[in-house]
Amino acid sequence: MDADYDIVVIGGGLAGLTAGISAAQMNANTLVVRKGEGATSLSSGALDIAGYLRGGETPFLTPEEGVAALAHVYPFHPYSVLESIPSLGLKEIVSWLKDILAGSPSAMIGSHDTTTMALTILGTKKPTCLVQRTMHTTRLDNTDETLLFAGIKGLADFNPSTASKALMESVIAGETGPHKIVHTLLECSPFRQPSNISPVELARYIETEDGLDRIIKELQHCTEQTGTTLIALPPILGLVNPIEIKKRIEEETGTEIFELLSFPPSVPGYRLQRSLEASLKKAGGTLLVGHEAVSFKKQEGKIIDITLKSPRRTFNTHPKSVILATGKFVGGGLAGNRTGLRETVFDLPVLDGTRQSVQDVRPSHLTRVVPLHKEGHPLFECGIGFDTRFRPIDVKGDIFASNLFAAGSVLCGYNYPVEKSGLGVALVTGRICGVHAAENVTGGN
Amino acid sequence: MDEEEAYAHVRNTLKEERMMPFSTSEMEVVRSVGQCINCGTCLNHCPVTRAVGVERFTGPRGIAVELSRSPPEYWSSTDRIYLCTGCGTCREVCPKNVDIPNVVNLMRRRIFSQRPDLVPQSLHQQNEILRKHNLAFVPWDDPDEKAESRNMRLERLDLPFIKDKIRKGAEVLFYPGCQAEERAQEVREAAKIILERFNVDYTLVEKMTCCSLPAILVGDMEKSIELSTILKKQIDDLGVKKIVTTCAGCTSNLNEIAARNNWEIPVYHILEFLVEDIGVHEVSKALSPMDDHTVRVTVHDPCHLIRHTSRRVLEYAHRLLNAIPDVEVVESSAHDLCCGGGGLVGRHSPDVSRVIVKENIRAIKETSAERIVTPCPLCTAQIEESLFRDGSDIEVDDLTVFIAQSFEGG
């Protein structure tokens, strides 16, 4: 049976949900449709906006500066569009996101005019913009702190000993940091064997009374012995109420604790995904999971029909605007094989960072010989081209459809792994597309 | 030796060496495993891993790794492969579309045919029932006792009894599934009341036989094909144009078989039939307040509907519930979490099944609902038993029964 919505957003990661929330807040009847879990759930849960220029080693002083620099150096960068929309500046967008996440498990701290150097699970620091409240600390630069890296026995993701060594080396090399760094392995396993534990298991365990008591006891024991004032934990502080858990542990141990940035799929990433879904619902939007967009109909330059498919059912929608936020290779927005790259829903031409077609280029030819290259792999810059309203362009360079917008990593022109701009571009483009699509709907009436 | 003979010879040699070549459809499933990028997203969502930990159940990733990174010595996985409830959560969240539920079925199939000694005894017992009766449950010995049990259930629910109809050339086949046929008879009766109410031209099957899902879960390929063939013959004899069921498992399994074997007869859950064929507006005309006060209900989403068929089916459930006057729906935080009743896990490891459902029970109790409804007799039974064990006074109803109960004058 068909369903009618003003706006259909294809993809439900950060870009799709941001677009969906924005449109729903403007009273458009919005459907966000997603096949699975969304790649945002695989992220660290911190929101990077702009960290480095490609090849650079010095992080930008502020995300704002980074956005301007990237837009200036790379004219085709998605951030270059921001200049032409004064009403939706970076400042507005960042504070909008903070507002919608306020009070959620992944409430964010940070601002557009400060680069936060967040400590990772490897003991290194990474430039980012917003971190979740549980990942936030201001005391990392205090030299008189004693920092404890507390790992969990059986949690393979985090080795507190190497992390403390890495941080100590950077302090010795002249960076400001705690004068004393210690590490420990806590024993608190949700099941019998302390081996092969995943962060999510621990996050669920810590939400039980037993689990929380256990970790507090272990931490108390360790802080008394070492005189710890600041504790770095892997991100396991719960899925639903991490802020209360953080507070409770801090009260019981007399220290400040914070979560480190971790590998995918992380607990904070999971929290961010769930919090955004809750915001969409609150704004009046609908989320439909387990469906893929499989085909479309276009008439007179407009998308008039999208076919959505679940394992055993298919139905059509007739949206007034469509937002494509299907992501890149993990999200499924782009697919590559030995004959080249293609966009999976509308078969839009795939371009590289300089807007040359890579339709027939074997993806392996878009990677460098060195896996970790400072300039990054050109493959990650590939995506679909867009105009200043984020409408995808077709083979001839014309707008593909006047009511189709695209957001997030399906777009070309930015190299998120080296720029540290992944979720930032998703946020900025998602917000702009959501507003544009909603205006398109109300303007069309 | 000609080519045919050579092929037959090679096949026999393979059999002696306990090797089974993959069929084309199996090959697709096996290839999907090669896509696994080991990200672990499935482990974060698997209800069994959540309940018992990776030590007991290595989870979807463990199963994928086992199949893709080591030689397929399936018997090494037997302690885990029977703990999968087949909920399909992993397949849904997987960024690479690895088809774990079908991988599990494939492995169970192979273990059954090559090392039946490793198949849990309880599953063999289940299969004996299937082989003997063509049903998932031992049928009632005495038809009078069966009728008495049915009447007692109807009386308790204040529902009228409508005689069975078997009519060739009817438009719709109502297929209740084994649970509603032999155990939860009120579901079967409620569906008849609903179909009758909207003057649907329907029929039942002459002799109820299983849809074949339990045989697939045991791994008995031969029996599953036999069961689906028996059912198809009955369907053909009746000449119906569509099939309506009240069971989530039957809905997804019959849809899969119908698609694979080109039945060209659509299979719907009764919720879909009510919304798409009758229309919510039409249904709402028949509904009246159930009680003298607002009834607060919460809904449990059966995996076989949301993840194996379509999440829209439960959207329909909400539309229908909202159409009943004085019913308020409150959401449980675990509404789409597997109840642990699937995959025959309840048969072979009831302890695991009971730990899985704990999370559902916790979330249901957290809502202010006085009643939980779900459009699947198996989920209903699993949740009802667990709530009872828990000492809760929250009532449990199959959604089909709940709708029939809210008919005006019904």
Q: What CATH number should be reported for the domain holding residue A281?
A: 3.50.50.60
Q: Is A191 on the interface with B (CB under 8 A)?
A: yes
Gyration radius (Cα) of chain B, Å = 22
Q: Do A150 and A61 sit in the same domain of this protein? A: no
Query: Which residue, of A229, A261, A293, is where some domain finishes?
Result: A261
User: With 50 as the cut, is the pLDDT of residue B264 above it?
Assistant: yes
Q: Do A180 and A39 sit in the same domain of this protein? A: no
Q: Is ipTM > 0.90 here?
A: yes
Q: Do A303 and A343 sit in the same domain of this protein? A: yes
Residues of B in contact with A208 (CB under 8 A): none
Pairing of strands B242-245, B172-175: parallel
Q: Do A232 and A343 sit in the same domain of this protein? A: no
What is the per-residue pLDDT for B42?
A: 92
Which architecture characterizes domain B3-119 according to CATH? Orthogonal Bundle (1.10)
What is the per-residue pLDDT for B101?
A: 94
Encoded tokens for A63: 């995300």
- For chain B, domain boundaries: 3-119, 137-278, 285-405
Encoded tokens for B383: 């949740």
In a domain, A113, yes or no: no
Does residue B381 contact residue B389 with C-beta atoms inside 8 Å?
no
Q: Do A257 and A275 sit in the same domain of this protein? A: no
Q: Are B92 and A204 a contacting pair at CB < 8 A?
A: no
User: With 80 as the cut, is the pLDDT of residue B66 above it?
Assistant: no
The angle at the Cα of B27, spanning B21 to B31, to the nearest 5 degrees, equals: 130
Integer Cα distance of A102 and A275 in angstroms: 10
What is the mean predicted confidence (pLDDT) over A228-250? 96
Q: Do A348 and A241 sit in the same domain of this protein? A: no
User: With 70 as the cut, is the pLDDT of residue A86 above it?
Assistant: yes
What is the per-residue pLDDT for B192?
A: 97
| Mutation site for B-interface testing, chosen from A2, A37, A330 by largest number of B Cβ within 10 Å | A37
Q: Which residue has the higher pLDDT, B372 or B6?
A: B372
A 248-267 → B contacts, CB under 8 A: 264-265
Encoded tokens for A330: 């993990």
The CATH number linked to A211 is 3.40.50.1860
What is the mean predicted confidence (pLDDT) over B99-105? 93
Percent of chain A with pLDDT over 90: 89
The domain total for chain A is: 2
**How many C-beta atoms surround the C-beta of residue A98 within 10 A?**
16
Integer Cα distance of B60 and B78 in angstroms: 14
In a domain, A97, yes or no: yes
Q: Do A174 and A69 sit in the same domain of this protein? A: no
User: With 90 as the cut, is the pLDDT of residue A445 above it?
Assistant: no
In a domain, A1, yes or no: no
Q: Do A64 and A171 sit in the same domain of this protein? A: no
Q: Are A312 and B95 a contacting pair at CB < 8 A?
A: no
Which architecture characterizes domain B285-405 according to CATH? 3-Layer(aba) Sandwich (3.40)
Distance of CA A360 to the CA centre of its chain: 30
**How many Cα atoms within 13 Å fall on the side-chain side of residue B307?**
25
Give the model confidence (pLDDT) of A295-353 as tens digits. Answer: 999 999 999 999 999 999 999 999 999 999 999 998 999 999 999 999 999 999 999 99
Q: Do A191 and A288 sit in the same domain of this protein? A: no
Provide the β-strand partners of residue A289.
A34
Domain extent at residue A37: 7-106+270-444
Does residue A167 contact residue A119 with C-beta atoms inside 8 Å?
yes
Name which of B23-37, B183-197, B376-390 the model is least confident about.
Answer: B23-37
List C-alpha distances in Å: A259 to A206, A234, A262, B151, B366: 14, 5, 9, 60, 29
Helices (H) and strands (E) in chain B, counts: 23, 8
Does residue B98 contact residue B66 with C-beta atoms inside 8 Å?
no
Q: Do A243 and A365 sit in the same domain of this protein? A: no
Query: Which residue, of A244, A261, A278, is where some domain finishes?
Result: A261
Q: Are B308 and A311 a contacting pair at CB < 8 A?
A: yes
Residues of B in contact with A197 (CB under 8 A): 54
Q: Do A308 and A439 sit in the same domain of this protein? A: yes
Does residue A433 contact residue A407 with C-beta atoms inside 8 Å?
yes
Q: Average model confidence (pLDDT) for chain A? A: 94
- Whether the full predicted model's pTM is greater than 0.80, yes or no, is yes
Which architecture characterizes domain B137-278 according to CATH? Up-down Bundle (1.20)
In a domain, A114, yes or no: no
Closest CA to A423 of A25, A63, A7, A9: A63
Q: Do A199 and A275 sit in the same domain of this protein? A: no
Closest CA to A428 of A103, A77, A35: A77
In a domain, A223, yes or no: yes
Chains A, B: CB contacts under 8 A, how many? Answer: 86
User: With 50 as the cut, is the pLDDT of residue B206 above it?
Assistant: yes
What is the per-residue pLDDT for B335?
A: 96
Pairing of strands A334-337, A340-343: antiparallel
Query: Which residue, of A237, A261, A285, is where some domain finishes?
Result: A261
What is the per-residue pLDDT for B73?
A: 67
